[in-house]
Amino acid sequence: MTALAEGVAGAGSVEPPAPVRPVRRRGGWRVAVLVVLGLYFAIPLAASTWFTVRDRGAGGFTAEHYAGIPGAEGFAAAFGRSLALGALTVGLALLLMVPTIVLVELRLPRLRTTVELLTLMPLVVPPIALVVGVRSVLAWAPEHFYGTPVAEAMFALQEPALPWILVLVYVVLALPFVYRALDAGVRGADLRTLTEAARNLGASWPRVLVSVVLPVLRTSVLNASFLAFALVLGEYTVAAILGFETFPTWIVRISGSQPQLSVAVSVLSLVVTWGLLLLISALDRRRRIEETS
């Protein structure tokens, strides 16, 4: 996830490092590295795919496990919940980080390192530590604040249909990726001059954010959203330990009774995620080509 995240975050910058192009040289080890790397990713994928399309009864191939996904028990609820959690996480993370990053860039550049370190914390603190802490608070608080709105709020956060507590935890987990993606965009654009130009022309601060900053950071906002969304769609530990059913925990639950279906879902979600990733970098590349033409 981290390597992927860094790759996508880099795509948001306006001046990315020179693209690595295949150079025709007789460096055999380059090919070797590529082959090893390719196999490392391809073998598990191919094996998973093979497992899902092989018809164990009649022999040959079948698409039955894929066709059965939409109607599978619990799929719609779990998947829908994960999509909602993803959307909420993206919204909240952006609402929190876009103004923060703009503020740091324009007004408090000395705080940049501090903010960067803070947003890295979720990578250093293992999710398991985070979630155990969250669980302790969730267990302790309602009792301690019994009969007060705090306790009510704690219960509301844990509503199984849409557990907001997961959104809050996911926002924290997504911070490193969201920050990096947005920061790349901010560094690539001369935000200070653009905002000053807009202020000079009479624009209020909210107007500057909406009409100038967001369009300039469009690609990085897209990248940040994608990363946060992908993280939510794949997060297992926190959801499982707090006892909520999300898309990943559902996959694990049904893997016992319907192993081929669960793997089919995994493969499909991987393909969809990958497709989205390619789409974003294609959009970004097209924009860059337009800009340099």
Partner 1 sequence: MTTVPTTTSHGPTGAAAADLRSRPGTPVRLEGLTRRYGPVVALDGLDLEIAGGELLALLGPSGCGKTTALRAIAGFDRPDSGRVLLDDRDITGVPASKRDMGMVFQAYSLFPNLTVAENVAFGLRVRRRARSERAGRAAELLELVGLADRGKRYPHQLSGGQQQRVALARALAVAPQVLLLDEPLSALDAQVRVQLREEIRRIQLELGITTVFVTHDQAEALSVADRVGVMRAGRLEQVASPDELYERPATAFVAEFVGTMNRVPAILTGGAVELLGTRRPVTGATPAGGPVVALVRPESLVVAADPAGRGRVVTRTFSGASTRVLVALPDGVEVRIDVASADSQLLTPGAPVGVTPADRPVLVAPAEPA
Residues that bind partner 1 (CB under 8 A): 189-190, 193-194, 196-204, 207, 211-212, 215-216, 218, 290-293
Are the C-beta atoms of 195 and 264 separated by less than 8 Å? no
Residue for token pair 């990958």: 274
In the bound complex, what is the minimum distance in angstroms from residue 291's beta carbon to partner 1? Answer: 5
Q: Give the span between the Cα atoms of 58 and 45, in whole angstroms.
A: 23
Closer to partner 1 by CB, 88 or 186: give it.
186
In the bound complex, what is the minimum distance in angstroms from residue 4's beta carbon to partner 1? Answer: 28
In the bound complex, what is the minimum distance in angstroms from residue 102's beta carbon to partner 1? Answer: 15
Closer to partner 1 by CB, 97 or 198: give it.
198
In angstroms, how far is CA 18 from the centroid of its own chain? 25
CB atoms within 10 A of CB 83: 15
Which structure tokens are listed for 253? 């639950």
Closer to partner 1 by CB, 113 or 204: give it.
204
In angstroms, how far is CA 230 from the centroid of its own chain? 4
Which structure tokens are listed for 130? 């985070």
Which structure tokens are listed for 257? 């009774």
In the bound complex, what is the minimum distance in angstroms from residue 169's beta carbon to partner 1? Answer: 34
Are the C-beta atoms of 43 and 255 separated by less than 8 Å? no
Closer to partner 1 by CB, 143 or 290: give it.
290
In the bound complex, what is the minimum distance in angstroms from residue 217's beta carbon to partner 1? Answer: 10
Closer to partner 1 by CB, 238 or 280: give it.
280
